[in-house]
Structure 1
């Protein structure tokens, strides 16, 4: 019993086995209009049936007087349907000449539309993936999907004609423009963030007349610090003076480590730029309380001013004022 059942199943599967694909398949043959890309007819069979045999079985579906462009799988089509054309097939151990290859390319350029149609049909997953439904219903499902495709195609064609008649505009240009605008909108948020950072810079405020150059220099002027015994007298830039009781510390300030940690957290800055600024901060730290500290400080400040993102973030954090307090008086 099991053997009979197994042999019956193998015999049934043999009808669907494709010698080309080396797998059990179903075959669908489509005829489309050359200009409109509309599907004119469909016929299906199991995978063991050859393409040309499937064509011969369905000759009655070909529109009267139609000229057919086929692929190389339809060898011998001239004997059945003379009003047709297909590429030349190279014989074994005999390659085609360059002229014949150009001839085949010209034919393939004109029949590539059928491949585009099948690509559009495969947006339906039932056709793109493994077919798991009843084999007898494949033709019905394929025809329903082809009908949906033809309906969408006719609607697009109608829209194109209406747009061209009313506005003398090709609908393709509108779709292309819409796709480009969608690409631009993807980066809108990133562009707006860049503008927000730029608006905080002194250059933008000066150009937009929000402040004068003198006011910008005043806001960037470091506080003067004079040490008197065990007290630091801080000059704030105004006539008011504050006395802060603080014991004088000759150790390296923590401002350098804080600067490195803060730069590491800044977004929209490359790792190479962050590393360059951290190297300059280490150089500042090693020259602290040395005669060369002022020149190192000036170099660092010029580099910070040249970088909008890092410069704006550092000035807003208040760390630059603390760094300027390390300058010798």
Structure 2
């Protein structure tokens, strides 16, 4: 139960007979957190069937579970998800990128296969170029970050060798990205949609420079976002970049919430805040902004208390201060 707000699965298979908490009660609690959760109960006792459907279970499996029964349930779940997808107020079609930086660091070649990096250093140097796409990076900057404890005459050959290895990997990628040498430094020349990070930064830049809000692109990127940046790579130099991206993501979230408030589309606003909470449940300021919007949302004012309760449950499970 404590991990549920972080996982937010689409389906929960729940045994009705469990120690400490009855499966029916667990299902009710999970549905309070995620009201579109599909529940499938399992039990050896048929008398629970009626109770199971009182909590709007999608299906029910009797023990011992046979292969045919499981196939029937999976087929039904597929139908449920296809209907939900057609009815979803937001088309959460996450765009496909050759390079993924949000929530993981994955680089795929033209055949969509994960590339194998010759060294970890080459992989990290490429990540640094991605985070600074289009910016001139001097070789002295690279030496200071990646070979700080090595003498210059030994470090420079290491740099040249690493850059060469990165270039060899780039030849395998779609969209023809290139690292160009300019005087005493380098620049990554690549289309912005090579990576989710590059596309996100470009869209946020455009939204600042132009009065028009790129809604569709913003929605797709919003739902492709996940933390932490570069996954579990733990690059020390990426901390300030991650902080900047998080700030921009918060601005995007608030902008989308205001847009759907003005359009009086509560369900779409709910999808936005739920995805944001999955990344930044500790952002009390954003939670309060949402509560304030809901409190003034025509016809839905009473949902403010409901959301406050949901937020406090999530905050409590994360051992964070509750909203008053």
Q: TM-score, normalized by length of structure 2?
A: 0.17
Mark the structure with the bigger radius of gyration: 1
Q: TM-score, normalized by length of structure 1?
A: 0.17
